[in-house]
Amino acid sequence: MARSTETPLWTREFIFFNVAVFLAFINIAVFFSFEEYLRTLPIDPQWFGLLIGLFSAVALVLRPFISPFSHPENARGWISLGTLGVMAALAAYGWAATLGSMMALRLFHGAAHVFLATALMTVIVQRIPPGRSGQAFGLLSIITLLPYAVIPPILKVLMARLGGYPQVLAFFAGTMILIFPLIFLKGPGPGPGDGTRPGRLSRAEIWRNLRERQILLILTAMLLFYSGYALIFFFLAGYARNRGVANPGLFFTLSTVGEIGIRLIAARFFDRLNKKVAAGLTLLALAAGYLFLARVEGAFEFFALGALLGLGWGVVMPILSALLYDRSQPKLRAFNTNLGLQMFQGGFFIGPLAGALALHRGGYDVLYLFCALLVLAAGGMIFLIPISKEDASV
DSSP 136-158: HHHHHHHHHHHHHHHHHHHHHHH
pLDDT at residue 122 is higher than 80: yes
Provide the b/e sequence for 362-390 (b: ≥16 CB within 10 Å): eebebbbebbbbbbbbbbebbeebeeeeb
* Model-wide pTM > 0.85: no
Beta-sheet strands, E only, within the chain:
none
**Mean pLDDT score, 261-269:** 84
pLDDT digits (tens, 9 = 90+) for 194-244: 444 456 777 888 889 888 999 999 999 999 999 999 888 778 878 888 888
d(CA 375, CA 329) in angstroms, rounded, equals 27
- Name, of 35-44, 134-143, 166-175, 182-191, the range with top average pLDDT: 166-175
d(CA 20, CA 183) in angstroms, rounded, equals 8
pLDDT digits (tens, 9 = 90+) for 302-353: 999 999 999 999 999 999 999 999 898 888 888 888 888 889 888 878 887 7
d(CA 126, CA 371) in angstroms, rounded, equals 35
- Burial class of residue 268 (count of CB atoms within 10 Å of its CB; 0-12, 13-18, 19+): middle
Task: Output DSSP code: residue 393.
Answer: P
